[in-house]
Amino acid sequence: MDKNINIKVKVWRQKNAKTKGYFETVELKNISQGSSFLEMLDILNEKLISEGQTPVAFDHDCREGICGMCSLYINGHPHGPDSEITTCQLHMRKFEEGDTITIEPWRSAGFPVIRDLTVDRTAFDKIMQAGGFVSVNTGGIPDANCIPIPKKNADLAMDAASCIGCGACVAACKNGSAMLFVSAKVSQFALLPQGKVEANRRAKAMVAKMDELGFGNCTNTRACEMECPKNVSISNIARLNREFIKAKFKD
């Protein structure tokens, strides 16, 4: 049965990307362990507002684990100490009486801080715009079984497409690499016939944009895979490397 606990929240405060940030510690009492982590942050903000202080800025939207906006670094883990979930799916029952919970924004040159816990993740949108789409005219919507695709490839493409672009892979990586995200988006097209036409241009364009935006290199520590809320496999990174090398050879 869920109980109420008293905790301390050590939260990052930063006015904008150009100002120096700092940690602020706030005590919260009688927090239900049945509440979600974001509900706890709502309670924190209500407390701050009632005391005449500025509330903590943090991102959220669907609160159903499918949009990736609730991106927080909690006690040293992207999305918190639970596995295969986003921050909005984390519940306070993962914490105990008297715990101090440290909350930070994503740390990456590619994700500059907007305010407090909110970062600018439009870099991922720019990478997608560089090549993460199919522009060839494929006609009307075909029946599901009109284009023969091996089940293995279809399953792998769907697994890659499950990436929600939250940025946990970047936050977990010591190099701030976006390779897991980019490889997932390349893979979901590279494995299907519709994506073959632009495969070479896509791989080169998305990798080039990733490098341009300041993301680091992959050194295969697998931290990205361990912290990914959707279990996206680093085998996609190997596929991206193959796609990129093939494109360069064709040049």
* 226, pLDDT greater than 90: yes
- Identify each DSSP E strand in 44-147 by its residue range: 73-74, 77-78, 100-104, 113-115, 118-119
Q: Among residues of the chain, what percentage have pLDDT more than 90? A: 88
Return the half-sphere exposure (C-beta side, CA atoms, 13 A cut-off) of residue 136: 11
Using the structure block, give the residue that is written with the tokens 């241009």: 201
pLDDT in tens, 101-152: 999 999 999 999 999 999 999 999 999 999 988 887 767 777 767 778 899 9
Beta carbons within 8 Å of 207's beta carbon, 6+ residues apart = 182, 240, 244
**Average confidence (pLDDT) over 32-45:** 96
Whether the CB-CB separation of 15 and 106 falls below 8 Å is answered with no
Q: Which residues pair with 78 in a beta bridge?
A: 73
Whether the CB-CB separation of 131 and 202 falls below 8 Å is answered with yes
- Identify each DSSP E strand in the chain by its residue range: 4-13, 22-32, 73-74, 77-78, 100-104, 113-115, 118-119
**What is the Cα 169 distance to its own chain's centre?**
6
How wide is the angle at C-alpha 16 spanned by C-alphas 163 and 76, nearest 5°?
A: 50
pTM of the model: 0.92
* 85, pLDDT greater than 90: yes
The sign of the CA dihedral 191, 195, 196, 200 is negative
pLDDT in tens, 41-65: 999 999 999 999 999 999 999 999 9
Q: How far apart are CA 50 and CA 56, in angstroms?
A: 13
Whether the CB-CB separation of 108 and 169 falls below 8 Å is answered with no
